[in-house]
Structure 1
């Protein structure tokens, strides 16, 4: 890899840094001037800026780490030791003139992911009970959870992503065509899976009441039509560190208005034209971290969605946090256009 694709100027807007992070998919950018190391920006730095509601048009120097952990090229044999000690995913390498000559990545040295929290005992609930009406006629034949993305059903891709971070205990909330889903998993598995069977549709939160006393601590929820490319143990760490009752994983989406937007004054006269303005929004990615005591707010045997649960928790004064990820880290197959996009991205 040409490391120069990771280089960015300190005056570049944070919005451009986000685009570059999405394009390179390396979760780090190197701030340089004449190839000399000035600092680094990671996805975590951008996440903290977004949470503070920072201006994305501000220069990237506002969020860069000016004292990054780096390695002199003469000590490159110590890369393993340094990365393990500091639990960092990327390590810039500089020469005697402080010029960046290489970047070493955790994934290139180690097969295991960086884990910030023990995840083996953390349950994962996958909401797989929906009819997938937006994907008809496919879902007239097979359940949405088993629609293949490439040659692997979406629900298995979701589980495989969790397995990368050592999650082992899964619950599937099922309803529509549930016998087909159960039959698919009737094979030898390297993880534990249980089925929570709805007698009627209970929504994206109502099915959690079927857990009864099975869950008594922190757990994760994922819709069955999304994939989140993030470090799930980092999400857990963030949730715990901030003492959240619910953490909503959110994706930063950019929308461009394909017209000149008119701004009028008080007299109704044209004051300015904003040509094809761009707006960023945080949208729910369909993944959540919850504390078990939140389950008390969900009515039994009633349709209840996640938005209603979150709104009720906010009304009750419970702490609800947000964990932002970039647009490219969120893949959705809820509709045909998004499903095609997911297939293309996973096959590149």
Structure 2
């Protein structure tokens, strides 16, 4: 099993922070702090904490910034990182980014969005839920209201996806 991070989007709503960086590399710590963590740091740290050793990152917008940091991120988190280019990041959405990383799916993946911060308990819960013939396990937020452009699923009364 590997970790897969969808990090190709432009993050237009985060401008001016994303004028020079992809949204996954925008610091989420105190403003101006040199050691502020990014969303990508959090995702990679979570993957490392649950024992994953390989991660694929789908990159697109300002991808050169991720390429420049790959070696440092590999060293910091003890992960082998493969960068996968989404050549249509400006035109297409997360579904196409997932398609770009489809070769990794055969090995089983834990998927993280490059613009979502969450605790490592999410990965731990997903890994604990494996088994019993379950092919796909999703972590869903059934409380938060989402904007029109955000990805959504329909949840059935028993908690599963319809």
Taking structure 1 as the reference length, the TM-score comes to 0.37
The answer to whether the 8 A contact 2:110-2:123 is kept is no
- Is residue 122–residue 139 contact of structure 2 (8 Å, CA) maintained in 1? no
> Between Structure 1 and Structure 2, how many residues are aligned?
143
What residue number does 2:47 align with?
162
2:141 equivalent among 251, 273, 291:
251
Is the CA contact (8 Å cut-off) linking 1:125 and 1:219 kept in structure 2? yes
Alpha carbons 1:168, 1:192 under 8 Å: kept? yes
Which of 223, 242, 249 matches 2:113?
223
Q: Which of the two has higher C-alpha Rg? A: 1
SS in 2 for 1:186: helix
Contact 1:171 1:196 in 2 (8 A): yes
CA distance in 2, matches of 1:239, 1:321: 15
Structure 2 partner of 1:126: 5
- The answer to which structure has the higher strand fraction is 1
Q: Is 2:105 aligned against 1:191?
A: no
Structure number with the bigger relative contact order (C-alpha 8 A, sep ≥ 6) is 2
TM-score computed with the length of structure 2 as normaliser: 0.74
Contact 1:128 1:175 in 2 (8 A): yes
Contiguous gaps of at least 5 residues in structure 2:
30-35
Which of 218, 228, 234 is residue 125 of structure 2 equivalent to? 234
CA displacement, residues 255-279 of structure 1 (integer Å, 9 cap, x when unaligned): xxxxxxxxxxxxxxxxxxxxxxxxx
Match of 2:32 in 1: none
- Return 5+ residue gaps in structure 1 as ranges: 1-121, 253-280, 285-304, 315-319, 323-348
Q: Is the 8 Å Cα contact of residues 143 and 180 (structure 1) preserved in structure 2? A: yes
Return the offset for 1:186. 2.9
Structure-2 residue corresponding to 1:207: 97
1:304-331 superposed Cα distances (whole Å, 9 cap, x missing partner) = x964xx67xx9xxxxx947xxxxxxxxx
Q: Deviations over 1:198-244 (max 9, x none)?
A: 11123212222223534313211111111222152331232433x44
